[in-house]
Amino acid sequence: MIRTLALCAAAAVAAAAHVPPAAAQSKPPAVERDATTAEFEKFRAVLEADNPAELFEANGAELWKTPRGPKNASLERCDLGLGPGVVKGAYVQLPRYFADTGKVMDAEQRIVHCMVTLQGFDAAALARQPFSNETRTPDPVAITTFVAGQSRGMKIAPPQTHPQERATYAIGREIFFYRAGGYDFSCASCHGEDGKRIRTQQLPNFTRADEAIRSYQGWPGYRMTGGVMHTLQWRLWDCFRQQRFPEPGYVSDSLTALLTYLAVNARDQVYKGPGIKR
Amino acid sequence: MKRCAALLLVATAPAIIAPPAAADDPRAAAVATLQRDFKARGITTTNLLVEDGVQAICNRTDDKPPKEIAQRLEQDQLAAIRWPADGKLVGDWKSGEQIAQNGRGMTWSDPAGAPGGGSCYNCHRIGPQETSFGTVGPSLLQFGKIRGYGADVQRYVYGKIYNAKAYNLCSQMPRFGHAGALTEQQIRDLVALLLDPASPVNK
Amino acid sequence: MADPMKIRAKLEGDVLDVRVLMAHPMETGQRKDAAGNLVPLHFIQTITAQLNGKPVFEAETSQAISRNPVFGFKVKGAKAGDKLSITWTDNKGDKRTDETTVGSG
- Tell me the CATH number at A261: 1.10.760.10
**How many Å apart are CA A84 and CA A23, to the nearest integer?**
32
Chain A interface includes B64 (CB < 8 A): no
In a domain, A128, yes or no: yes
The conformational region for residue B63 under phi > 0 = left, psi -120 to 50 = alpha, else beta, is left
**How many Å apart are CA B58 and CA B65, to the nearest integer?**
7
C-beta of residue A167 within 8 angstroms of C-beta of residue A264: no
The pLDDT of residue A53 is: 94
The pLDDT of residue A21 is: 41
Chain A interface includes C6 (CB < 8 A): yes
In a domain, A148, yes or no: yes
In a domain, A255, yes or no: yes
**How many Å apart are CA B91 and CA B105, to the nearest integer?**
21
Chain A interface includes B34 (CB < 8 A): yes
**Region B160-187: what's the mean pLDDT?**
98
Confidence of residue A50 (pLDDT cuts 50, 70, 90): confident
Q: From the CA of A239, how many Å to the nearest CA of chain B?
A: 11
Confidence of residue A268 (pLDDT cuts 50, 70, 90): very high
**How many Å apart are CA A178 and CA A35, to the nearest integer?**
33
**Region A76-97: what's the mean pLDDT?**
98
The pLDDT of residue C103 is: 86
Interface of B with A in 143-162 (CB under 8 A): none
A78 catalytic? Reply is no
Q: Which residue in chain A has the smallest CA separation from B133?
A: A199
In a domain, A139, yes or no: yes
Confidence of residue A29 (pLDDT cuts 50, 70, 90): low
CATH code of the region C6-101: 2.60.40.10
Confidence of residue A13 (pLDDT cuts 50, 70, 90): very low
**Which of the residue ranges A229-233, B31-35, C29-33 would you say has the lowest mean pLDDT?**
C29-33
Q: From the CA of A133, how many Å to the nearest CA of chain B?
A: 16
CA angle A155, A160, A164 (to 5 degrees): 140
Range of the domain at A122: 34-277
Q: From the CA of A11, how many Å to the nearest CA of chain B?
A: 6
In a domain, A110, yes or no: yes
Contact B58 A179 (CB under 8 A): yes
In a domain, A26, yes or no: no
Cβ neighbours of A196 in B, within 8 Å = 134-136
More confident residue, A162 or A39: A162
The pLDDT of residue B186 is: 98
Cβ neighbours of B181 in A, within 8 Å = 182-183
Q: Which residues of A touch C (CB under 8 A)?
A: 49-52, 54-55, 58-59, 133-135, 222, 224, 227
Whether the predicted pLDDT of A69 surpasses 80: yes
**Region C2-10: what's the mean pLDDT?**
89
**Region A253-277: what's the mean pLDDT?**
96
Confidence of residue A1 (pLDDT cuts 50, 70, 90): very low
Confidence of residue A38 (pLDDT cuts 50, 70, 90): confident
Cβ neighbours of C65 in A, within 8 Å = none
Contact A171 B29 (CB under 8 A): yes
Taking the C-alpha atoms of A138, A48, C66 and C97 in order, what is their torsion angle to the nearest 10 degrees?
A: 80
The pLDDT of residue C1 is: 64
pTM: 0.86
The pLDDT of residue B11 is: 43
Cβ neighbours of A59 in C, within 8 Å = 3
Count of CB contacts below 8 A, A vs B? 181
Count of domains observed in chain A = 1
Whether the predicted pLDDT of A9 surpasses 50: no
**Which of the residue ranges A29-33, A80-84, A146-150 would you say has the lowest mean pLDDT?**
A29-33
**Region C81-103: what's the mean pLDDT?**
95
Identify the chains in contact with A, defined as 3+ C-beta pairs within 8 A: B, C
**How many Å apart are CA A240 and CA A258, to the nearest integer?**
12
In a domain, A153, yes or no: yes
Confidence of residue A49 (pLDDT cuts 50, 70, 90): confident
**Which of the residue ranges A29-38, A178-187, A259-268 would you say has the lowest mean pLDDT?**
A29-38
CA angle B123, B145, B200 (to 5 degrees): 65
Chain A interface includes B139 (CB < 8 A): no
Whether the predicted pLDDT of A14 surpasses 90: no
Give, as one character, the DSSP assignment of residue C32: B
In a domain, A4, yes or no: no
Q: ipTM value of the model?
A: 0.89
